[in-house]
């Protein structure tokens, strides 16, 4: 399930080397799972796997932004968030169109690939959630890490259920329905991120310096 916010970008917590190391591990796991789900989704003919990959992309981008641009000016973080939101929206649109195309021309996806990769994605998200959960007491941003990981697990379970449906019905429809739902969530999440980033950029470039610093993303 697409998250708008999976990583803290609070400057204070970033001074903790354990938190930074945890963010690095989360970045590697999410980036790796994004690649695995895209490749497995294309080779296995599963749109739901590709849709699930959207969330891994968004999360990896969040962790990268938290690690890479945290020390920079808020305007640059807003630009990074804008890029992330635009990429997420484009990927969501691509998966939505692919699911629509699959409804008319697609073959039945490989249910076993969907099931295996879906379970692997669930394990990856649980590992990251457990790792980051230790930091939950810090502030609201850290709690959002936990809430988001839980939502991700729901998305992974939806993929596994779709795999069961594809296997049981010998039909692409469970895959397409789950893919379309998740793609729409990714698309709307991408637009939400872009809206917030644009508001941040406006506030940052406004002549009055009295604006309050807001969290970069809403709670996904």
Residue ranges in contact with Zn ion by CB under 5 A? 3, 6, 55, 59, 148, 152
Task: Provide, rounded to whole angstroms, the least separation between the CB of residue 152 and Zn ion.
Answer: 4
Q: What is the number of the residue whose Cβ is closest to Zn ion? A: 3
Nearest to 58 by CA among 91, 25, 13, 24: 91
Cα–Cα distance measured from residue 86 to residue 105, given in angstroms and rounded to the nearest whole number = 28
Nearest to 114 by CA among 55, 40, 51, 32: 40
Pick between residue 3 and residue 82 the one whose CB is nearest to Zn ion.
3
DSSP string, 193-211: HHHHHHHHHHHHHSS-TTP
Sequence-distant (≥ 6) Cβ neighbours of residue 95 within 8 angstroms: 47, 50, 51, 54, 179, 182, 183, 186
Task: Provide, rounded to whole angstroms, the least separation between the CB of residue 149 and Zn ion.
Answer: 7
Longest Cα–Cα distance in the chain: 61
Task: Provide, rounded to whole angstroms, the least separation between the CB of residue 54 and Zn ion.
Answer: 9
Nearest to 55 by CA among 40, 38, 76: 38
Pick between residue 45 and residue 66 the one whose CB is nearest to Zn ion.
66
Task: Provide, rounded to whole angstroms, the least separation between the CB of residue 62 and Zn ion.
Answer: 8
Task: Provide, rounded to whole angstroms, the least separation between the CB of residue 209 and Zn ion.
Answer: 34
């Amino acid at each position: 399930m697409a998250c708008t916010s999976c990583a803290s970008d609070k400057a204070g917590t970033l001074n903790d080397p354990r938190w930074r190391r945890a963010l690095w591990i989360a970045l590697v796991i999410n980036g790796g799972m994004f690649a695995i789900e895209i490749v497995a989704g294309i080779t296995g003919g599963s749109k739901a796997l590709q849709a699930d990959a959207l969330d891994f992309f968004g999360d990896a981008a969040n962790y990268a932004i938290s690690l890479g641009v945290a020390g920079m000016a808020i305007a640059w973080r807003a630009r990074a968030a804008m890029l992330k939101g635009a990429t997420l929206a484009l990927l969501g649109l691509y998966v939505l169109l692919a699911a629509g195309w699959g409804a008319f021309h697609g073959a039945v996806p490989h249910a076993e690939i969907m099931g295996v990769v879906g379970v692997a994605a669930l394990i990856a998200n649980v590992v990251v959630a457990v790792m980051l959960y230790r930091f939950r007491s810090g502030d609201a941003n850290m709690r959002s890490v936990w809430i988001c990981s839980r939502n991700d697990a729901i998305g992974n379970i939806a993929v596994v259920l779709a795999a069961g449906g594809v296997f049981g019905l010998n039909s692409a429809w469970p895959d397409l329905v789950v893919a379309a739902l998740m793609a729409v969530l990714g698309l709307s999440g991408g637009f939400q991120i872009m809206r917030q980033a644009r508001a941040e950029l406006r506030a940052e470039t406004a002549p009055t310096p009295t604006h309050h610093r807001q969290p970069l993303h809403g709670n996904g």
